[in-house]
Copies of this chain bind each other. A is one copy, B any other.
């Protein structure tokens, strides 16, 4: 153990950055959407506002809980039409550090991602959403201040939502403090788990600050044929193939980021696994063709638990008033 540990910390800087990396202290900001206080406030309001959903009762935070783990601890999200999504909800916490969003990796930025759920919130046409936003006078005024001369449009709605999301960071996890030199920040079991994570090869995909290999794509299951395939319905969804229609993408998925993973059960794209212990066991078998001992599972889960960051205190946004329902496009039950 000690040897592994020493090796790890003796790696040259480039290699170390490739393997275990703390969360950067600042988020990447796209050149065409600089952060401003006004955008962040407006984005937080829209994030919490159910009036931009078909039935007036679903907001971004309904599924991406800001009071909680940034997702909903369910195997699906529910759309206003009562239908369920195919996949679990990925957490919004630290999503600002991801290069690909959605389980199929179909969005390349938070701005692009935000369109998907807004559409799913049931208004169908993006036009209908901009109409609802424009019908709320304070939103109309704030958009006019932030984007002078522009009509309210989806591209700007997603920009301010993304600006807010770039503030949803959970720094200073025990893991980050450990990587920065606080050797007592994580338990002995977690240190052992970290070494197992590296030596058996988890890290070959789950690397970098988000432990997602920079949002790379990988086959899952890599070793098909285990009883887990049927038990957890691992072959029923062809993954990224659904997005690209390319045979080479069949069964490929975005590598899941592991930050705050202890809080985001159930696991996998279909939420079929309810505990982190089982998720680790299944991943070792299907991706590395390896059967873990109970001790190894325990140590890996201890390590993963050290990836839980600090959520900090958050303000509840104050939603703008809706002066008259007569000026507001009707919601449908």
For the complex formed, measure the closest distance between the CB of A82 and the CB atoms of chain B, giving whole angstroms: 6
In the assembled complex, the CB of A230 is this many whole angstroms from the nearest CB of chain B, namely 20
Query: Cβ of A149 < 8 Å from any Cβ of B?
Result: no
Contact present for A311 and B318 (CB under 8 Å): yes
Given contacts A265-B324, A275-B325, A315-B314, contact A62 B67 (CB under 8 A): no
Give this chain's copy count. 2
Q: Of A49-57, A111-119, A185-193, A284-292, which binds chain B?
A: A49-57
Choice from B67, B82, B315, B326 contacting A319 with Cβ under 8 Å: B67
Given the complex of chains A and B, what is the CA–CA distance between A1 and B275 in angstroms?
A: 71
Residue from B57, B67, B266 in contact with A48 in the complex, judged by beta carbons closer than 8 Å: B67
Q: Judge whether A316 and B266 touch: CB under 8 Å.
A: no
Q: Nearest-CB distance from A305 to chain B (Å)?
A: 9
The 8 Å CB contact of A326, one of B49, B78, B274, is B274
In angstroms, Cα B69 to Cα A321, docked, is 8
1/0 per residue, CB under 8 A from B, across A315-333: the answer is 1111101111110000101
**Which residues of B sit under 8 angstroms from A242, Cβ to Cβ?**
none
Contact partner of A72 (CB less than 8 A), chosen from B48, B56, B311, is B56
Chain A 245-273, CB within 8 Å of chain B: the 1/0 string? 00000000000000000110110000000
CB distance from A312 to the nearest CB of B (A): 9
Inter-subunit contact B324/A67 (CB<8 Å): no
The verdict on A74 contacting B48 (CB below 8 Å), with A319-B67, A325-B266, A326-B274 known, is no
Closest residue to A271 on the B side, CB-wise?
B325
Say yes or no: is A14 at the interface (Cβ < 8 Å to chain B). Answer: no
Judge whether A316 and B319 touch: CB under 8 Å.
no
Chain A facing B: main interface SS: loop
The smallest C-beta distance from A317 to any residue of chain B, in angstroms, reads 6
Known: A319-B65, A323-B262, A325-B275. A73 touches B56 (CB 8 A): yes
Across the interface, name the chain B residue whose C-beta is closest to A305: B323
A13 CB to closest chain B CB, in angstroms?
Answer: 34
**CB closest chain-B residue, reference A267:** B325
Given known contacts A57-B72, A62-B57, A73-B51, A67 and B317 CB-to-CB distance under 8 angstroms: yes
CA distance A318 to B68 in the complex (A): 6
Additional A-B contacts beyond A275-B324, A276-B324, A313-B318 (17; CB < 8 A): A50-B62, A50-B65, A55-B78, A56-B73, A57-B72, A67-B316, A67-B319, A69-B322, A78-B333, A82-B82, A262-B321, A263-B321, A265-B322, A274-B325, A275-B326, A313-B315, A315-B316
Query: What residues make up the interface of A, taking CB atoms closer than 8 Å to B?
Result: 48-51, 55-57, 62-63, 65-69, 72-74, 76, 78, 82, 84, 262-263, 265-266, 274-276, 311, 313-319, 321-326, 331, 333
